Amino acid sequence: MTVAATSSMVDWLRESETKEYGNFINGEWVKSSSGKTFPIYNSAKNNQLLGTFQDSVENDVNQAVEAANEAFKSWSKLPGPDRGAILFRLADLLEKNVEELAYMLSAEQGKTLAESKGEVYRAAKEARFCGGEAFRIEGSTLPGERSNVWSSTIRKPIGVIAAIAPWNFPVVTPVRKIAPALAYGCTVVYKPASVTPWTSVKLMELLAEAGVPNGVVNLVVGSGSKVGDPLVNHPLVKGISFTGSSNLGLEINQKAAGRLAKTQLELGGKNPAVVLDYTDPAAVAKQIVSAAFAASGQRCTSISRVIVVKEKREELTEALLQEIMKIKVGSAWESDATMGPLINKRHLDSVQEYIKVGLEEGARLRFGGEVLTEGEFSEGAFMKPALLDLVTPEMRVAKEEIFGPVLCVIEVENKTEALEVANNVEYGLAASIFTDKVSSAYQFAEDVEAGMVHINHGTASAAHAPFGGVKQSGAGAFSIGNSNVEFFTDLKVIYFEY
Ligand code: NDP
């Protein structure tokens, strides 16, 4: 499947319409034993079919896990540098195929082409970082308690990993799970979100082309109940790397704990941007708006609450409005669009419901929020980005994850109250602070309940720094950086007498 240089995007998407995509098990494209498939449509043009996918069941999961378990025997013995070399090739291939992957990603998920390309390049960076990590699986050496004895620690891969991802970043999230698994010597069964399985097909092709042996990475497409649940419960699955909603993360954690399987959970967020005495409101607004509305606000690390001291509120709100008005809503294929549709109508309804609840609770809609239905907008889940002000900390819109393009402004008296409000939610993923005072910045970084803190910087993360949250936002080892070693490997201590 390639995008011919001469064919238009529309022709290329049309070609895919008639295709049935299989599961990828033990290096083969296979149909589900259910005999059933389900369709996927273009996110910005709901009547355009992108292809049909396997509606898999437990039997398919079992086959994939068994293949991964068999492949683990040889993959885990391959020297780390050899595994790393495959990941470097994968990174190169992701970059080489950026156009095609970005088209597929925009079609199934809706984000703009620029955002999709950014996601593919980011996936390549993370794969490359993991390739390097495969050279650095370190242990320690300790003196013995007796003469002629020394001891050392080594790291051993844990086995088969279940990788389960949501729909908002269908390229980088699987790479974020698969690449470190491979680096440390684990094998994988991957279940994408049901609404975004298309790019996973291409990802499997690239993994095979990079030299990943049969069975090392397997793809099973299907629903959470028929694929996700048996995968989580499979006795040969030793670790579950899950990204998704907090409720589901808690459920998965309980099931895994029942048989002492490890978990790495990346869950929801309600991320604050605290604004104190920063002198350039336009610069702050630029950072906040970019972090709030990228991917149509459907990012776990989206800024969704601006907590601003009273004397700065009006000035900052004006600056936010100026910046939000620059957002151009449109489909991915429009070159000047900066915000695509939401993933689907159901999710749009949920975001709209939150705006309604906010208004009923006493918030004021300062900008946007309306559903767009005219012309090209009629075929997707489009809405204008929304700014709510007069939001108070106890309102539902201030506490619950909306996961859409809605930014809430909350006024506070001072920095002490700002910190209290920032921490007054069940989540603890990312947090930003904008201040000219070094002491305020450090105090906030120490005291805010978040896994990642950004000082005078939006909530965008790096491809090599640990990524994760506290409270209901996550549990287990942080992903992306070298913290992954804690999840994908077990420690072993060796005593040696000579
Ligand atoms: P969900 O929690 O609904 O789904 C996530 C994945 O879990 C999907 O693949 C889903 O499958 C699968 N799943 C559903 N039921 C089960 C089950 N019983 N057992 C195992 N797997 C199951 O999340 P969304 O897809 O709606 O994504 C949005 C959420 O993800 C938000 O809360 C967001 O904050 C969070 N997120 C967190 C990130 C982080 O790094 N902290 C990053 C990105 C998103 P199916 O699609 O078939 O339902």
pLDDT tens, position by position, 249-298: 999 999 999 999 999 999 999 999 999 998 999 999 999 999 999 999 99
Percent of the chain with pLDDT over 90: 94
- State phi, psi for 138 to the nearest 5 degrees: -90, 155
Nearest CA to ligand 1 atom 11: 224
Q: Look at residue 8 in the predicted model and tell me its pLDDT.
A: 61
Distances in whole angstroms, Cα of residue 13 to Cα of each of 10, 118, 342: 5, 21, 20
- Which residues does 388 contact at the CB level (< 8 Å), separation at least 6? 355, 358, 359, 363, 364, 365, 366, 369, 397, 406, 407, 408, 409
Q: Which of 161, 267, 472, when mutated, tests ligand 1's pocket best, judged by the most ligand atoms within 8 Å of its CB?
A: 267
- Asked whether the predicted pLDDT for residue 1 surpasses 50, the reply is no
Q: Tell whether ligand 1 has an atom less than 6 A from the beta carbon of residue 224.
A: yes
Q: Look at residue 44 in the predicted model and tell me its pLDDT.
A: 86
474 CA → ligand 1 middle, Å = 13
Residue indicated by tokens 């605290």 = 274
Residue type, 395: M
Nearest CA to ligand 1 atom 43: 300
- pLDDT tens digits for range 95-146: 999 999 999 999 999 999 999 999 999 999 999 999 999 999 999 999 999 9
5 band by pLDDT with thresholds 50, 70 and 90 = very low
4 band by pLDDT with thresholds 50, 70 and 90 = very low
Q: Which of 164, 246, 406, when mutated, tests ligand 1's pocket best, judged by the most ligand atoms within 8 Å of its CB?
A: 164
Burial class (CB in 10 A: 0-12, 13-18, 19+), 359: middle
Position in ligand 1 atom list of the atom nearest CA 429: 41
- pLDDT tens digits for range 359-387: 999 999 999 999 999 998 999 999 999 99
Q: Tell whether ligand 1 has an atom less than 6 A from the beta carbon of residue 221.
A: no
Position in ligand 1 atom list of the atom nearest CA 169: 43
Position in ligand 1 atom list of the atom nearest CA 249: 2
Distances in whole angstroms, Cα of residue 351 to Cα of each of 289, 473, 480: 18, 20, 29
Q: Look at residue 406 in the predicted model and tell me its pLDDT.
A: 98
168 CA → ligand 1 middle, Å = 9
Burial class (CB in 10 A: 0-12, 13-18, 19+), 360: exposed
Q: Look at residue 45 in the predicted model and tell me its pLDDT.
A: 84
10 band by pLDDT with thresholds 50, 70 and 90 = low
- pLDDT tens digits for range 66-85: 999 999 999 999 999 999 99
Q: Look at residue 2 in the predicted model and tell me its pLDDT.
A: 38
Distances in whole angstroms, Cα of residue 289 to Cα of each of 151, 303, 324, 445, 462: 53, 8, 6, 21, 19
Q: Look at residue 16 in the predicted model and tell me its pLDDT.
A: 75
- State phi, psi for 114 to the nearest 5 degrees: -60, -40
99 CA → ligand 1 middle, Å = 26
Q: Tell whether ligand 1 has an atom less than 6 A from the beta carbon of residue 164.
A: yes
Q: Look at residue 6 in the predicted model and tell me its pLDDT.
A: 36
Most distant CA atoms of the chain, gap in Å: 82
d(CA 412, CA 426): 19
Residue type, 151: S
**Mean pLDDT to the nearest integer, 299-310:** 98
- pLDDT tens digits for range 347-366: 999 999 999 999 999 999 99
- Asked whether the predicted pLDDT for residue 46 surpasses 90, the reply is no
46 CA → ligand 1 middle, Å = 22
Q: Look at residue 75 in the predicted model and tell me its pLDDT.
A: 98
Q: Tell whether ligand 1 has an atom less than 6 A from the beta carbon of residue 223.
A: yes
Would you tell me the crossing angle of helices 172-184 and 198-210 to the nearest 10 degrees? Answer: 30
245 CA → ligand 1 middle, Å = 5
Q: Tell whether ligand 1 has an atom less than 6 A from the beta carbon of residue 228.
A: yes
Rounded to two decimals, the pTM is: 0.96
Contact 491, 184 (CB under 8 A): no
Hey, how many other C-beta atoms are within 10 angstroms of the C-beta on 204? 23
- What's the mean per-residue pLDDT of the chain? 96
Just list the catalytic residues. Answer: 266, 300
- pLDDT tens digits for range 395-419: 999 999 999 999 999 999 999 999 9
Q: Look at residue 260 in the predicted model and tell me its pLDDT.
A: 97
